[in-house]
Structure 1
């Protein structure tokens, strides 16, 4: 049977999420290490290394050659976690997603809307709450303290700026390069003069930051309160800070990544079986439901042929990898099905009725945190019989 982490139980038991047994040393280690670098330093996964000298493994590494996103310039070569995001505890969340939230995802009329819930509120917060985000400017902490929510918006918007070419990092930093000499930044050759509010606001508007960020209006208000100009605020966005592994594309290097996603697949498998039994009715047409925000900006940037401080060509679209016929970068996953899968083919392959699936879950409907211990009963209780 495949492993999974049913994190709806923490909220059901009234356990603070960071006190979950999964964060004990004989499981996956503490949720937020107390050392200054946020390194996981106790338990069986203590000092889990991040791949070093990874340029021979991947074309996408950070300036220190670690297997992290290029914009994450943290040189610490170990797994890191922090329970604050830009100063805000748990990114403003009090608990992990509940059983009712999972049951609500089944109330959607399309697979696209269901997937949007799976990718977003049903598992995204867990990534952020474990990973965290630090080394941001004090003004950013002040903004999140005022907003009391959506602290993750700053990193999402900074990544949006990086994809558009506003934020740059060094190609290479040696192991002994000080952190403050290898930070992400916005070159003046690209931004122009942003010392005035007018110049900075031009950047915020031209690159969609003002309309995409959930906290931009709050940020402007707080900056003014502290006597800071919009140029200072822009520099704080450009600095980016450092996230823990789980709040980045390096998340698979944290062992909590792997059981986290099984809970999502269990829900999808149950929904597909409930549809076959005509208990649920949703379209399985492959579509992509767009949101508006830092995690879904609708913008795709082409960096082909770009050199130096050149800028990419950006246009509205769907990122490669999300479409039905896009090829997944995995091959020969089973003996019966060699070669590559498209997204749509893989969706067909993992249907719960497929006898060639190399794994199963011990239960799809048994969720202790649900009404009478059943996801189906929770769905009926919350959304059918109401």
Structure 2
């Protein structure tokens, strides 16, 4: 029995562990897409415009180029990046893992970047997404967001334990726009290029982009403290969350006790200091708490 046959046989590894095939298939839509985004799945050479995707993919021009998936450990670097692969196939042998990796890298199926874009079919999608702006305003007004800078370059971060990491704006650098603060938001936010609605920061549209704004400008516009928009939500209550022990009034009352939020920390239109990394605040608090506990234990153990 070949390895490929073994992968499809319900009497073997997959079949014996219940729904392993189904779980692997459930995440199959994201594997190729993520490998491409991470620079592992690539294409070389050229193709004519009338060639079908499956024809190009079957020629070997595209795949996990530079990786030997017939032997050795090259497959491990790819396998470790496959969503849920370790939890689904963690107890499989190297041959099975290598074959799964090879199939994902070489299959002529062309998924497309929008495959499985079915979130809107989930009933929870609609009450969740429209409230994001309201939650954003709430977070600003209660002082939970203090750093609004949006850089144009990768950010080097030193974590509390001294580890230095780089947060990448985009793996594909200049060829992938949309992630930087200066990139243009692709939707017109003003009615027209000469609309009378002027954002209070003094910008009437954008001379270079018409009625579109950069990401940094859009972030500024949605700052509820600057009155850039002609509205603000009249309530920031989510009573259905109280049943789960989350009361949004707590943060609101604490914010009022601290006094008004300073407009000085509002988003900046121009490139400024790099933003605070998304994880540093929590990890710093956690590290300090652990240090205090260790210090307390040390004092208690001292004669």
TM-score range normalised by the length of the shorter chain: 0.3 to 0.5
TM-score in terms of structure 2 length: 0.47
TM-score in terms of structure 1 length: 0.39
Task: Work out which structure has the larger RCO, using CA pairs closer than 8 Å and 6 or more positions apart in sequence.
Answer: 1
Rg (Cα) greater in structure: 2
